[in-house]
Copies of this chain bind each other. A is one copy, B any other.
Amino acid sequence: MAKINMERRAKIGRERRARTHAQIVEAGTMLLAQGPAKALTVEAVAEAAGLAKGTFYYHFQNIEELVSEVTGQLGRSFDDVLSPDRFEMSDPIARISFAFTQSLEKAISDTGWARLVVQSAQTRGEFARSVRDNLKTEIAEAIAQGHMTVRDPELAVDILVGIWLQVTRGILQRVAPPELSSQALEAALRAIGSARPKSPSP
């Protein structure tokens, strides 16, 4: 009786629904990477996705819910950029360095992503917090191992995040010089008092 109906319902909806949902997220991501978040309107998203406004509301409660999902997706993409080899490294400074460089390189090669990161870091507490928390874990370890001059973990995080974010902004406004990522990394390591020789011994 009801059984068949439920099965049908579940089966039919999935793919179509998921596709449209993804379309909207994609459109929202694109628009967010372009202008300021305040200018993100339901109509603009719907039009960019080639859908009617009502369809948007069938998939999301409101713009906030969409932005939240975009932010979440960005966070995951962030992890993708950083994770592959990172967990193999035993030294927390090495992990930080890897993440720092990787995300700058990604920003250079994908300015849309960079724009989104900068945008989100400014306006989405969740995103900023997540980045901060990850960093803080590494830094606490580094401090404990006596690998850093800076003793206040919060300050250390501010320094690293500050340099990273501002250099990323710079990438969006100027052409990135060849050695940018490595030079920025060296400066960041000096700042927290973890300067190391350039050649990482094997």
- With A and B bound together, what is the CA distance between A154 and B167 in angstroms? 9
- A14 near B: Cβ within 8 Å? no
Residue of B nearest to A169 (CB): B158
- A30 near B: Cβ within 8 Å? no
Q: How many copies does the complex hold?
A: 2
Which of B123, B152, B187 lies in contact with A183, CB distance below 8 A?
B152
- Of the stretches A3-11, A77-85, A95-103, A189-197, the one at the interface is A189-197
**Interface readout for A27-58 with B: 1 if CB under 8 Å, 0 if not?**
00000000011100000000000000000000
Main secondary structure of the interface of A (DSSP, over half): helix
Q: A155-B167, A155-B180, A167-B162 are in contact. Are A150 and B36 (CB under 8 A)?
A: no
- With A and B bound together, what is the CA distance between A155 and B123 in angstroms? 24
- A24 near B: Cβ within 8 Å? no
- A74 near B: Cβ within 8 Å? no
Residue of B nearest to A187 (CB): B191
Cross-chain contact A165 with B166 (CB below 8 angstroms): yes
Cross-chain contact B177 with A152 (CB below 8 angstroms): yes
Residues of chain B within 8 A of A169, CB atoms compared = 158
Q: A158-B169, A158-B170, A163-B163 are in contact. List 13 more A-B contacts (CB 8 A).
A: A38-B38, A149-B190, A150-B183, A150-B187, A154-B177, A158-B163, A158-B166, A158-B167, A161-B166, A162-B163, A163-B191, A165-B166, A191-B191
Q: Which 7 A-B pairs have the closest CB atoms?
A: A162-B166, A38-B38, A191-B191, A162-B162, A187-B191, A162-B163, A158-B166
